[in-house]
């Protein structure tokens, strides 16, 4: 909902959930949250079915996972309005388990993965988000937009020609309806309108029912039938750990993205262990697990304007009602309507400013390279976690290279028997390795002073370099005195010097 001064500001305190109480007291906000949840629920159905196929399980497994993930994370998660459900990233990781060992082992892997997520979160893995640079975040956002768009292409290839005018009509509604009124979310109007047109004119176009069989009963408690042995743990642990890491990375990145969009701060540690709890609950209800689903989260937050946990809870509840009680009606929704909505989500998700020619001219080349690496890696692998990891690695390497080139060495002959080398810069493995070649071991006088007043020592590689310098001078009968260090740099030199091996 918008006010005359812009988007309605929903007060939020992650410790007390002021936002939920605000939504319950505000009929307009309550309507926004519930309708947003309904739209998200409709959009989750075909994707949950598709991800079930990827994981090699029955569509019910993916649908029940989306229901239980959304409802649980709405209660225990740390980022209000974020949607968690079955995802392609998790499906790809656990698919080999289902293929080789069966569904029971897959469910056990999901539960174990949830346990790992809880443990990792309490060990502080969420704090690693501070090391994700802005250029990687921008690449993540643009990659997400591309993946969401690419995911719609199969629904536009080898389909009846009527699909195309339906998608075009849906896009027109999504673009122009918000300019007229925001009383009802444009995505919901699009879905209802195209469904009515399709049914009224008996159009032969693909619909939700064509994607897979919908469940007819509520999910029940499920205990995987696997041997409780060390051998089972040995088999499942690698897959469970991979699932935990992928799920946490995608969820925490999405949480940070929602933080930026809503200009609020979320509890990343709570979100991390909340994802673990949600996967444990999902596993015991026979679901395939999941994590934050970025496309539907953008639909919920950016397109529909949701801001509280109610939208996430509503998405889970509505999804359960739709697939169990109203499955026949939901099956009539044309895929063209959902494709139109997701195309609009992808367009709205792109950070257009980041790809504007003027921005690219102003941006340092290294920043652009990091963004491009993130996008290319993500789109080529279809895995946001891989793209983000490679983007962060690229940023680290480029940063180390840039800082390494800022190190300088100046030589001054202070007397007939003494010369001083003044080293300036941050000394670590990338910047200190070449230092050993910047000293005149033969031509220098008997006493050499290395002044590190304008430098800092950050790692053992630098200490080893200074050890090597001292050894080279000692071989020529000369002495080296290192001065100017204090604090942690001095303590690091004293603790490690002469103890790293390689002495003559």
User: What pLDDT digit, counting tens, does each position of 54-113 carry?
Assistant: 777 888 888 999 999 999 999 999 999 999 999 877 887 888 898 899 999 999 999 999
Q: What is the DSSP string of 481-504?
A: EEES--HHHHHHHHHHTT-SS---
- Taking residue 74's Cβ as centre, other Cβ atoms within 10 Å add up to 27
pLDDT for res 299: 87
pLDDT for res 12: 52
pLDDT for res 301: 92
pLDDT for res 415: 77
Beta bridge partners of 481: 449
Q: In the structure encoding, which two tokens stand for residue 189, read together?
A: 């109007």
Catalogue the long-range contacts made by 132-136 (C-beta closer than 8 Å, 24 or more residues apart).
132/253, 132/256, 132/388, 132/392, 133/370, 133/392, 133/395, 134/367, 135/367, 135/368, 135/370, 135/371, 135/374, 135/391, 135/395, 136/370, 136/371, 136/374, 136/388, 136/391, 136/392, 136/395
**Helices and strands (DSSP H and E) totals, the chain:** 20, 8
Helices 309-324 and 59-76, axial angle in degrees (round to 10): 150
Q: What is the largest CA-CA distance in the chain?
A: 100
pLDDT at 17 over 70: no
pLDDT digits (tens, 9 = 90+) for 137-159: 888 888 878 887 888 888 899 99
pLDDT digits (tens, 9 = 90+) for 120-134: 999 998 887 777 888
Q: What is the pLDDT averaged over residues 245-270?
A: 90
Confidence of residue 8 (pLDDT cuts 50, 70, 90): low
3-state secondary structure of 162: coil
Q: What is the pLDDT averaged over residues 217-243?
A: 91
Average pLDDT, the chain: 87
Q: Which of 268-282, 327-341, 350-364, 488-502 is modeled with the greatest confidence?
A: 268-282
Q: What is the pLDDT averaged over residues 404-421?
A: 87
Rg (CA), the chain: 28
pLDDT for res 502: 53
Q: How far apart are the C-alpha atoms of 16 and 366, rounded to whole Å?
A: 42
pLDDT digits (tens, 9 = 90+) for 315-344: 999 999 988 888 888 888 898 988 888 888
Q: How far apart are the C-alpha atoms of 55 and 447, rounded to whole Å?
A: 69
pTM score of the predicted model: 0.72
What element of type H or E holds 426?
strand 418-427
167: left (phi over 0), alpha (psi -120 to 50) or beta: alpha
pLDDT for res 406: 80
pLDDT at 1 over 50: no
pLDDT at 2 over 80: no
Confidence of residue 499 (pLDDT cuts 50, 70, 90): confident
Q: How far apart are the C-alpha atoms of 207 and 337, rounded to whole Å?
A: 9
High-pLDDT (> 70) share of the chain, %: 94
Residue with tokens 């000692």, as numbered in its chain = 474
Q: Distance between alpha carbon 231 and the CA centroid of its chain, in Å?
A: 32
pLDDT at 504 over 50: no
Beta strands in 275-405 (DSSP E): 291-292
Q: In the structure encoding, which two tokens stand for residue 352, read together?
A: 């257009």
pLDDT digits (tens, 9 = 90+) for 183-211: 777 888 888 899 999 999 999 999 888 87
Q: How far apart are the C-alpha atoms of 295 and 205, rounded to whole Å?
A: 24
């Amino acid at each position: 909902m918008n006010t005359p001064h812009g988007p309605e500001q929903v007060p939020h305190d992650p410790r007390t959930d002021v936002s939920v109480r605000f939504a319950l007291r505000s009929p307009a906000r309550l309507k926004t949250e519930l309708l947003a949840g309904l739209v998200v629920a409709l959009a989750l159905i075909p994707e949950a079915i598709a991800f079930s196929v990827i994981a090699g399980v029955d569509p019910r497994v993916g649908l029940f996972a989306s229901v239980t993930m959304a409802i649980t994370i709405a209660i225990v998660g740390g980022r209000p309005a974020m949607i968690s459900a079955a995802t392609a990233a998790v499906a790809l990781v656990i698919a080999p388990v289902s293929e080789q060992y069966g569904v029971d082992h897959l469910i056990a892997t999901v539960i174990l993965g949830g346990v790992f997520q809880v443990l990792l979160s309490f060990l502080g893995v969420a704090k690693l988000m501070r090391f994700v640079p802005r250029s990687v975040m921008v690449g993540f956002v643009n990659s997400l937009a591309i993946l969401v768009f690419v995911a719609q292409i199969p629904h536009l290839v080898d389909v009846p020609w009527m699909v195309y005018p339906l998608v075009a009509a849906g896009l027109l509604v999504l673009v122009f309806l918000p300019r007229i009124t925001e009383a009802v979310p444009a995505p919901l109007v699009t879905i209802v309108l195209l469904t009515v047109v399709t049914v009224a004119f008996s159009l032969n176009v693909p619909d939700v029912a064509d994607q897979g069989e919908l469940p007819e009963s509520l999910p029940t408690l499920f205990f995987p039938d696997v041997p409780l042995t060390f051998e089972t743990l040995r088999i499942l642990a690698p897959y469970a750990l991979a699932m935990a890491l992928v799920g946490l990375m995608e969820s925490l990145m999405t949480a940070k993205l929602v933080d930026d969009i809503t200009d609020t701060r979320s509890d990343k540690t709570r979100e991390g262990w909340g994802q673990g709890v949600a996967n444990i609950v999902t596993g015991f209800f026979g679901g395939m697990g999941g994590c934050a689903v970025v496309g539907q989260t953008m639909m919920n937050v950016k397109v529909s304007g949701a801001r509280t946990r109610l939208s996430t809870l509503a998405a889970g509840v509505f999804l359960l009602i739709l697939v169990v009680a109203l499955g026949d009606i939901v099956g009539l929704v044309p895929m063209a309507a959902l494709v139109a909505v997701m195309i609009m989500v992808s367009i709205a998700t792109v950070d257009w400013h980041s790809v504007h020619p003027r921005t690219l001219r102003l941006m340092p080349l290294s920043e652009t390279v990091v963004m491009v690496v993130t996008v290319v890696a993500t789109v080529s692998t279809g895995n946001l976690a891989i793209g983000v990891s490679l983007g962060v690695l690229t940023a680290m390497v480029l940063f180390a290279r840039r800082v390494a080139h800022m190190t300088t060495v100046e030589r001054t002959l202070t007397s007939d028997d003494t010369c001083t080398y003044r080293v300036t810069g941050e000394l670590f493995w990338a910047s200190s390795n070449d230092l050993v070649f910047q000293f005149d071991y033969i031509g220098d006088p008997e006493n050499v002073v290395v002044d590190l007043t304008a430098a800092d020592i950050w790692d053992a590689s630098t200490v080893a370099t200074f050890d090597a310098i001292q050894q080279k001078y000692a071989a020529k009968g000369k002495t080296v005195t290192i001065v100017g260090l204090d604090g942690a740099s001095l303590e690091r030199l004293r603790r490690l010097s002469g103890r790293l091996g390689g002495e003559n």
